[in-house]
Amino acid sequence: MKQIILIALCLIALTSPAHDKKYEEAMTRQIQIVYTSEKTEELQAAVNSLDRISQAEKDKWEPLYYAAFGYVMLANQETGASKKDAHLDQALKRLDQASLLSKDNSEITALEGFVHMIRVTIDPNTRGQQYSGLSMQAFGKALQQNPGNPRAMALMAQMQYGMAQFFNSPTTEACGLAQKALAQFNSGKTEGVLSPAWGKGMTEDMLKRCQ
């Protein structure tokens, strides 16, 4: 009986407002780093911290999502193809785990598409056909899951823009979608303090090229 009571008390502690606040504070610190840091060591440390949080909070998808995002940022900082691919492999591994905890999650699907999109940039001539298709498929799926997801819109617009430039075709559709994404960003709607909030600056930069 004592053991059952102790287990119950532990479960109450893990679901208490104080625990939730501590979790949100720890997450917020690491999210800020993955959003802003340009230092590889600092970014890797944040990813490692997010991995530890995910191991402690086995029912939450956000630590895995942001660890994956951190690996995407690490890939962007690398110049060598093998190192980029290694980081992207780690990102996909965490997104696969996150999707088991939060099914049909538009944010997870959109970030998966972002991973595929970066694979294209490593070698467009040899990877373009495979990974551009995978990325567009993921962005389309993300918009089916949540038609108002600005990150899915913005990333799809980026992909459309790059493909239009590659084939020397009009960028009108891509720029229109980017404008729609920016309007969605400006609406300021978020589901919670840990909800993804990145992508607006990237969209604004793209729209400057549309002028």
Whole-number pLDDT of residue 167: 87
Half-sphere exposure of 146 (CA within 13 A, CB side): 19
| CATH code of the domain containing 165 | 1.25.40
Joined together, the tokens standing for residue 38 give 């340009």
Distance CA 5, CA 158 (A): 54
Whole-number pLDDT of residue 128: 86
Residues 163 and 121 in one domain: yes
Distance CA 44, CA 33 (A): 10
Whole-number pLDDT of residue 11: 33
Residue 96 lies in a domain: yes
Secondary structure (3-state) at 156: helix
Residues 78 and 94 in one domain: yes
Q: Which residues contact 99 (CB under 8 A, 6 or more apart)?
A: 61, 105, 108, 109
pLDDT < 50 regions, the chain: 1-15
Rg (CA), the chain: 19
pLDDT digits (tens, 9 = 90+) for 48-82: 999 999 999 999 999 999 999 999 999 999 989 99
